[in-house]
Amino acid sequence: MINLTPNALTVAPRKVLAALVLMSLAIGAASVFGQYLRFFQGVDEYSKFGLIDNFDVDEEANIPTYYNTLLLLAAALLVAVVARTLRLTGDPMSTRWRVLAVIFFVLSVDEAAGIHEEVSDIVPKTDVFGGTLYFGWVVVYAVVVVVVGWYVLPLLRGLPRRHRMRFIASAVVYVSGALFVELVEAAITLRTGDETWRYQLVSTVQEVAEMVGVALFIWALLKLIESRDPILRATVGVSESN
């Protein structure tokens, strides 16, 4: 006999945030520990079953990269849910939410494919402002951030204050890691290179800030869905059959 009674698998936004932040910090700690073994214990970064290389947040195609990719993809899917919910109610802001979903999807693809690294190689490096603009791509990305910020500003204005502050907090944390900490990283690279303990620490701070920023964004989206959609209520319906 088939039982079609649905069981609700509740997604608690606060627990999701806690889990994502803890995972981000754990990845950061693993990266720092690996670099400690590398710089102070003389362990080769490709030995020990790839422990150092696989958890190095400054490398590509490893565990931090895949984790970041999944975070950004999850954010894109949640933004798409918000966009669809608003479209069904005839909200004119649904188009901007759809564009934002596409932006986060592109970010997830970029994270997986390392497109930003290619851009970094193309844009010339400089020693302007003591090397803080050594990575010229920061200027390019800063312009993109301003344009995207201008585009989504109406979305923030249309939200209740508590939701607006959550999204602003996530943006501040993410941009601080992606751009501002990058400036410190650039100055260190120009002076001592990128194969130093100090550089690795700053790089870890940058990557963890980005991860936590996306985690906060996901939390903010879950809270928004929970308050806006009386059907979803930030839950996933599951049907059981015997």
Lowest mean pLDDT among 123-132, 166-175, 183-192, 201-210: 123-132
Contact (Cβ atoms closer than 8 angstroms) between residue 198 and residue 192: yes
- CB burial of residue 124 (10 Å; 0-12, 13-18, 19+): exposed
Q: Is the pLDDT of residue 18 over 50?
A: yes
Query: N- to C-terminal Cα distance for the chain?
Result: 6
pLDDT of residue 242 exceeding 50, the answer is: no
Asked if the model's pLDDT at residue 96 lies above 90, the reply is yes
- Pull the structure tokens for residue 189: 């690279």
| The two three-digit tokens of residue 196, written as one number | 């130093």
Mean local confidence (pLDDT), 233-237 = 47
Residue 237: pLDDT band with limits 50, 70, 90: very low
Q: What percent of the chain lies above the pLDDT cut of 70?
A: 79
Bigger pLDDT: 231 or 43? Answer: 43
Rounded-to-integer distance, Cα 189 and Cα 195, Å: 8
Lowest pLDDT segment from 24-33, 61-70, 134-143: 134-143
Q: Is the dihedral of CA 70, 106, 151, 232 positive or negative?
A: negative
Per-residue model confidence as pLDDT tens digits over 195-220: 889 989 999 999 999 999 999 999 99
pTM summary value:
0.86
The pLDDT value given to residue 104: 96
pLDDT one-digit tens code per residue, 20-44: 999 999 999 999 999 998 888 888 7
pLDDT-derived band at 4 (thresholds 50, 70, 90) equals very low
SS (H, E, C) the chain: CCCCCEEEEECCHHHHHHHHHHHHHHHHHHHHHHHHHHHHCCCCCCCHHHHHHHHCCCCCCCHHHHHHHHHHHHHHHHHHHHHHHHHHCCCCCHHHHHHHHHHHHHHHHHHHHCHHHHHHHHCCCCCHHHHCCCCCHHHHHHHHHHHHHHHHHHHHHCCCHHHHHHHHHHHHHHHHHHHHHHHHHHHHHHHHCCCCHHHHHHHHHHHHHHHHHHHHHHHHHHHHHHHHCCCCCCEEEEECCC
CB 78 within 8 A of CB 84: no
pLDDT for residue 2: 44
Tokens of 139: 């200027």
How many Cβ atoms from other residues are within 10 Å of residue 238's Cβ? 9
* Residue 157 confidence (pLDDT) above 50: yes
What is the mean predicted confidence (pLDDT) over 186-198? 81
Higher-pLDDT residue of 120 and 149 is 149
- Write down the pLDDT at residue 234: 45
